[in-house]
Amino acid sequence: MAEMERFLKSLSSVQIQSSYTPFPAKQSIRRELHTFSDASDKAIGAVTYLRTTDGSCQIHISFVMGKAKLAPKAATTIPWLELCRAVLAAEVEEVSRIHRTTSQEQWRYVRTELNPADKATRSVKVKELQESPWITGPEFLRKPKPSLPYAPCELTNHEIKDDPEVRPTVTCRKPVVYGACLGSERFSKFSSWNRLMRAFANLIHIIHSRSKITERNAANCNGWHICQQPRSLEEFQKAKNVILTSTQNEAFREEIVSLVNGDVLKGCTFGKLNPNLDKDGILRVGGRVCNAHVSEKEMHPVLLRKNHHVTELIIQHCHQLCKHQGRLFTLRTLQNEGYWVIGGKRYILSKIIHCCVICKRLRGKLETQLMGDLPKERLTSAPPFTFVGVDVLGPWLVSARRTRGGQAHSKRWAVMFTCLVSRGVHIEVIEAMDSSCLRRFFAMRGPAKQIGDRTAVPTLWEPAMKLEDASLRRT
């Protein structure tokens, strides 16, 4: 570091003359710029000198500009580095590229020991820099032009082998496109009809903005851009025609060719529909309803093939317009929008409605809970009311008796005893929460073997459960 600092301080002693010539510029009869460049695996450099000839044919050399930089990491071969130093030499002369600003006759070859730019690719001591050819210029520039030691470069057609910068062969393939069909693989990337239409409308808008400038896009819509303005109805109609034309060219290619040639459709599945082509080249349904008071798209709908992605997107769009109604509503909405799907009834039911999540929620069957095994009390053969379940209903207000001020009201409840085996029902009316109904039930039906579950017996029957087991069970 100390030695490097000493070298940097000694650069202050290097001086370059500020004037290019020792005489006025008007006295010069010829001025030439000579640029030298060199490259190594460590650095590349270029230097320019002004060669001036005065009236007495004296030649003066002056330093104009020098530039050096490290070799780029991407340049792994010497030929690549030579190209880099040629570009650097062209940039020194304020030229952007080699082939655009220079010709072959301007380039010469100079040997390494005579090339002053060689100093930029090597390490030179500061004390030797002042007297080096990098500052003073090469001596052969001070001689007359016929004695210059370099000769013009010649391009040769010799075959170059084992050079990574030269490709041995170049293969060029020419694509052949049959027809003007976009292909359905482009449409399969879209999940809705509106998105597909909007994407192609934006593409058509960009094509128009690149081809011509209109009043609408004169300000901001020029070239490839992301336009924030809404698309026009004309652009959406053109996008729709492009999509339908591409879809029909894939599905009905032979039929369309036959109609264009004026041939009769033979063996066609939709020949009874009397199809024809409109002015946009779209295949539509014919028929004898030209005098009907309906719109043109309902009168002559567009023919579509089922099991196609675009057809599925259109049917899904119409299915959403009719608020997820059934097959007939969806089919009618599809016809109102101007589309005729071959075999559409079954396709709408099996492909669209059957796969629609919202329709499954609206029309799907309710799921039932899987019940557990029945208890053994329900499955044991026994006399009626041997195994009993109990429930209480009410209360109800009933008129108990008459009073001077009117009628006295009191509450009544109903206790329902259910046989767990025969499903028989016995109902008792009670006036208070006591076990009187239980005694009446035993008196009429006989003692029960089990009343519900002891762990789940309501608090109403706690006094009754304190009775002896002999009154609750059969002996």
- Is residue 254 within 8 A of residue 267, CB to CB? The reply is no
The helix (run of H) or strand (run of E) holding residue 242 is: helix 233-251
Of 47-56, 331-340, 342-351, the one with minimum mean pLDDT is 47-56
In the chain, pLDDT over 90 holds for what percent of residues?
12
Give the residue, 407 or 418, on which the prediction is more confident.
418
- On the question of pLDDT at 179 being above 60, the answer is no
Q: pLDDT by residue (tens digit) across 450-475?
A: 887 533 334 334 444 443 343 444 33
Measured distance CA(398)–CA(409) in Å, rounded: 5
Across the range 341-368, mean pLDDT stands at 86
pTM here is 0.44
Q: pLDDT by residue (tens digit) across 281-292?
A: 899 888 887 888
- 57: confidence class by pLDDT, cuts 50, 70, 90: confident
Measured in degrees and rounded to the nearest 5, phi and psi for residue 389 equal: -110, 145
Q: For residue 48, count other CB atoms closer than 10 A to its CB.
A: 19
Across the range 19-44, mean pLDDT stands at 78
CA dihedral 200, 201, 206, 207 (to 10 degrees): 70
- Identify the residue whose tokens are 């340049």: 75
Angle between helix 253-261 and helix 233-251 axes, rounded to 10 deg: 100
Measured in degrees and rounded to the nearest 5, phi and psi for residue 135 equal: -95, -50
- Identify the residue whose tokens are 């934006």: 202
Which contacts (CB < 8 Å, 24+ apart) does range 299-302 have?
Answer: 300/276, 301/335, 301/338, 301/339, 301/340, 302/244, 302/248, 302/338, 302/339, 302/340
8-state DSSP, 434: S
Q: Is the dihedral of CA 293, 297, 303, 304 positive or negative?
A: negative
Q: What is the DSSP code string of 340-353? A: EETTHHHHIIIIII
- 96: confidence class by pLDDT, cuts 50, 70, 90: very low
Measured distance CA(104)–CA(79) in Å, rounded: 17
Which contacts (CB < 8 Å, 24+ apart) does range 265-270 have?
Answer: 269/342, 270/303, 270/342
Residue 134 has what pLDDT?
73
CA dihedral 52, 54, 58, 61 (to 10 degrees): -20
- 225: confidence class by pLDDT, cuts 50, 70, 90: confident
- How far is residue 433 from each of residues 215, 412, 417, 427, measured CA to CA in Å? 91, 10, 16, 15
The helix (run of H) or strand (run of E) holding residue 366 is: none
Q: Which residues contact 259 (CB under 8 A, 6 or more apart)?
A: 265, 275, 276, 277, 283
Of 137-146, 204-213, 328-337, 385-394, the one with minimum mean pLDDT is 137-146
Residue 334 has what pLDDT?
92
- 316: confidence class by pLDDT, cuts 50, 70, 90: very high
Measured distance CA(191)–CA(309) in Å, rounded: 9
Measured in degrees and rounded to the nearest 5, phi and psi for residue 283 equal: -80, 125
Measured distance CA(75)–CA(164) in Å, rounded: 11
3-state secondary structure string across 68-104: EEECCCCCCCHHHHHHHHHHHHHHHCCCCCHHHHCCH
Of 160-174, 318-332, 370-384, the one with minimum mean pLDDT is 160-174
Closest C-alpha to 338, from 310, 316, 313, 318: 318
- On the question of pLDDT at 130 being above 90, the answer is no
Measured distance CA(278)–CA(290) in Å, rounded: 14
Across the range 356-383, mean pLDDT stands at 85
- Is residue 28 within 8 A of residue 6, CB to CB? The reply is no
- How far is residue 164 from each of residues 34, 85, 259, measured CA to CA in Å? 31, 19, 58
- On the question of pLDDT at 427 being above 90, the answer is yes
Measured distance CA(334)–CA(303) in Å, rounded: 11
Residue 310 has what pLDDT?
92
Of 33-47, 140-154, 398-412, 453-467, the one with minimum mean pLDDT is 453-467
Residue 211 has what pLDDT?
67
Of 23-27, 159-163, 219-223, 448-452, the one with minimum mean pLDDT is 159-163
Return the amino acid letter for 104: Q
Bond prior to 395 in cis (omega within 30° of 0): yes
